[in-house]
Amino acid sequence: MTQYDAIVLGAGAAGLMCAARAGQRGLRVLLLERAEQPGRKILISGGGRCNFTNLGAGPANYLSANPHFAKSALARYTARDFLDLVERHGIAWHEKTLGQLFCDGSAKQIVAMLLAECERATENGGDVTLRCGEEVTEVAAEDGYTVRTRSGEYRAQNLVIATGGPSIPKMGATGFAYELARQFGLKLVEPRPALVPLTLGGDDVLFREISGVAAPVTATANKQAFSEAALFTHRGLSGPVILQVSSYWKPGDPVSVDFLPERETGWLLAAKRATPRATLRSVLREALPHRLADILAERIGIASELGNAPDAALREAETRLARWSFHPNGSEGFAKAEVTSGGIATGELSSQTMEAKKHPGLYAIGEAVDVTGWLGGYNFQWAWASGVAAGEAL
């Protein structure tokens, strides 16, 4: 049986980064990946251009039962550090909006960069061996850690769980990290689909008729507000703003939408004075896609000209448009969730090294851990930062 210094389970974003760092420190690292190629989620991310980090990434952009946990790793490996690496590899990039950085070319460049970083291990006497098509089925804590796949058995003093979360199972995602957590007695925060479209039923079902319509709105769930585009779909609500609030949404909660976040209070009464012959439908059509304007006007039910509508009714309409309450009956689940929130409880791990407090030599990084970023490059930044924290500690 081959002996390594460390075995990293999962060659995704966090596992590749961790293996490269550890290898460059002179360690012999084995990186085991069940898929036939590494970094599959990186390859499909950001529409194929990989939103690889966010310039504004800080602890406030993450959900976790312990919001302080991510601070240390994020401070020690920042978005600027990853950007320096990208630039050293000559990868052209651009900032889209809100600090989101993408490759100009292809996400393949990020995977190639991480593999090249793994190869650099040999410069310092280290080595990273990547074995794809190796699904880890069993781990035993015997004389360090023994890992079994269908084709082999490997041993190391250190083991890193970097198998991600179960979102998008058709990409090969698994809940294996949670199986290992249970085996080693590490507590789990209930894993839930996050950054996921929400489904509408009941009275809201009418909005499914305007599938394909998008508009910039402010959406709020559980007091957390985001301003970006919302998209109506044949199942309910999607678009960046809904994905963002979905991470804070829990079954039974409403999602409040301000359809006209730029408008100042009193705008509808001002419209009544300026254009008394206009209708609610016509003024909404000036600001919103027509199909959305029509359905909102119909639901509010003021059909008369504004000049003939009572002020109180217009004030009420304005309030409804600013706090439209949707009652999602669910989400599209792990099949469509960009990430999984929850996971291995941070209380089980050192925030400096990601090592399990109860099990020396056992580490957990990336999405497997209860740290979940907003949409916009934050999840990769956590994968890089937690991967580096463990890679430097192994």
Residue type, 336: K
CB closer to ligand FDA out of 7 and 317: 7
Query: Is residue 342 a contact residue for ligand FDA (CB under 6 A)?
Result: no
Distance CA 314, CA 280 (A): 9
Three-state helix/strand/coil letters over 149-198: ECCCEEEEEEEEECCCCCCCHHHCCCCHHHHHHHHCCCCEEEEEEECCCE
What phi, psi does 362 have (nearest 5°)? -105, 130
Query: Is residue 338 a contact residue for ligand FDA (CB under 6 A)?
Result: yes
Query: Is residue 367 a contact residue for ligand FDA (CB under 6 A)?
Result: yes
Question: Which of the stretches 43-51, 62-70, 280-288, 291-299 binds ligand FDA when contact is defined by CB under 6 A?
Answer: 43-51
Give the residue closest to ligand FDA by C-beta.
12
Three-state helix/strand/coil letters over 1-50: CEEEEEEEECCCHHHHHHHHHHHHCCCEEEEECCCCCCCHHHHHHHHHCC
Query: Is residue 41 a contact residue for ligand FDA (CB under 6 A)?
Result: yes
Query: Is residue 366 a contact residue for ligand FDA (CB under 6 A)?
Result: yes
Query: Is residue 10 a contact residue for ligand FDA (CB under 6 A)?
Result: yes
Query: Is residue 176 a contact residue for ligand FDA (CB under 6 A)?
Result: yes
Q: Which of 123, 152, 148, 127 is nearest to 137 (CA)?
A: 148
Question: Which of the stretches 68-76, 218-226, 343-351, 375-383 binds ligand FDA when contact is defined by CB under 6 A?
Answer: 375-383
Q: How far is the CB of 32 from ligand FDA (least distance, A)?
A: 5
What is the four-CA torsion angle of 372, 374, 82, 357, rounded to 10 degrees?
-20
Among positions 35, 79, 189, 292, the unique one binding ligand FDA when judged by CB under 6 A: 35
What phi, psi does 373 have (nearest 5°)? -90, 165
Among positions 173, 200, 213, 385, the unique one binding ligand FDA when judged by CB under 6 A: 173
CB closer to ligand FDA out of 45 and 279: 45
Q: How far is the CB of 369 from ligand FDA (least distance, A)?
A: 8
Q: How far is the CB of 29 from ligand FDA (least distance, A)?
A: 15
Tokens 């791990």 belong to residue = 349
Q: Distance of CA 159 to CAs 19, 23, 61, Å?
A: 11, 14, 28
Please report, as ranges, the residues that interact with ligand FDA according to CB under 6 A.
9-15, 32-35, 40-41, 44-46, 50-51, 135-136, 162-164, 167-168, 172-174, 176, 338-339, 366-368, 377-380, 383
